[in-house]
Amino acid sequence: MEGVEELPTMTQATLLDVVKDCDNFPYPYRPHLHKSNTVSRATTACCSRSQSRATSIAPGSSPNPSSPPSGPSTASGPSTATNLENQKPAPDCPDPYSHILSHLWTFHLPYDPCAHGLIPYHIVSHLRSHQLWTEHFSLDLHSKTIDLLRPSLHDLLPQDNGDWQVACSRILDEQIELWRRESALAKDILGPRKKGEQFPIVGAKFDVGVDRSAIGLLGMIGRGAHMTVYSRRVFSSSTSSMSDGDGQSPTGQDFLFWIPRRDRTKSTYPGKLDQAVAGGVARGETPWECIIREAVEEAGSALTDEFVRSHAKPAGTVTWLNISDSRAGQGQEGLINPGVLYVYDLELPDEGFIFPFQPVPGDIESWMIMDTAQVMAAMKRFEFKPSSAMVMIDFLVRHGVITEENEADYVEIVSRLHRLLPLPTNSRREWQKEVTAN
């Protein structure tokens, strides 16, 4: 796809290539001229949408032949391998970012102009042609928007407690299960069964969530927490062999990292290297609670709840906007993945060798201890899961290993680690402040 760079060969890869492997969605050509980075119904784009009359359609109905949707015909749903290939920007397109956005459908919640999901055309078309959008949703062919309609009193069930906002999560859950049951394409993306864990719709004006399995299909912000587990190895000045050129700290110390290899049976990024502790932040859960839970689940043989609570330190966030490739798993190729990771550090004392990290069947195949140079080399061979490589590079930046003095692409690397996302990330507290102010 235009604007999404191919992976370079292992011998040619730079740290910027590693970051772009995850943050591979084009950037706005003139971001300083954009009044808002957030996509809404009013978003315009170069080389963009048809100027035909906006037409709201009932789910499953056919569009007016005189006003066909832009983009390729997808009556039966094309393969995910080509889902955006037919929407490549022209070679002289001044803004490939806006162009690609113009060929994505946006997902909206009741009474909210901001988009909360970015969905490829072929997904929407396939579900519509198979009449798998229920009456709770409105699709607009001109603006390429999907609206979850406010549930009426007749839509509410006893478990909704008379609250339409509560009903929204239930309706989304029912919609997703319909897709999983009736669509082979959706089932490939969603998996054979529910994850049984709800993720929040980030930036929503009220508490609403979807099953974890549907975050990728709906192109919603995936929210997770990663913790780098490390120790320090100090060298005397006479014996240290480190240099800036090796990507190692020039301060007479090196880092040792506890790195797991993902089980080769995992559905996503099997066999890739990962962070010691990593997981998705569930609806109603804080990132800190997620880290504690995941540490016990993934590294409980070595890390106790008390030790993590006493030694783990929050270290900010890492964000990216990714168009997934075949490594992401069956059916995932071409989906839009905005990501927010809450980053934590955990330093082990005494070079950490007394901590017995053990494999976890079906999750972690093995553990290894890697020094800084080994981690840098593995990242440039694309051995890490892309988001985990981003977190690792962020660690090396924060700890003074990657600097302006030893990295030519330093400014762009640091900027891409903290990308502004085109979907809202405001907490509900911020929305409540706006309502109060108005």
The token duo for 134 is 């229920």
Beta carbons of 122 and 74 less than 8 angstroms apart: yes
Distance CA 338, CA 50 (A): 26
Q: Which CATH superfamily is domain 222-416 in?
A: Nucleoside Triphosphate Pyrophosphohydrolase (3.90.79.10)
pTM over 0.75: yes
Confidence class for position 54, pLDDT limits 50, 70, 90 = very low
The full set of domain ranges for the chain reads 48-85+103-220, 222-416
Bridge partners (DSSP) of residue 226 are 278, 343
Nearest to 17 by CA among 420, 422, 407: 407
165-182 confidence digits (pLDDT tens): 999 999 999 999 999 999
98-136 confidence digits (pLDDT tens): 888 888 999 999 999 999 999 999 999 999 999 999 999
Distance CA 366, CA 383 (A): 14
Name which residue leads in pLDDT, 48 or 213: 213
Which pLDDT score, from 0 to 100, does residue 37 have? Answer: 63
Backbone angles phi, psi at 128, to 5 degrees: -70, -40
Which pLDDT score, from 0 to 100, does residue 95 have? Answer: 81
Distance CA 75, CA 417 (A): 38
Bridge partners (DSSP) of residue 390 are none
230-262 confidence digits (pLDDT tens): 999 876 554 444 444 444 454 557 999 999 999
Which pLDDT score, from 0 to 100, does residue 11 have? Answer: 56
Nearest to 323 by CA among 92, 99, 86, 83: 83
**pLDDT at residue 155 is higher than 90:** yes
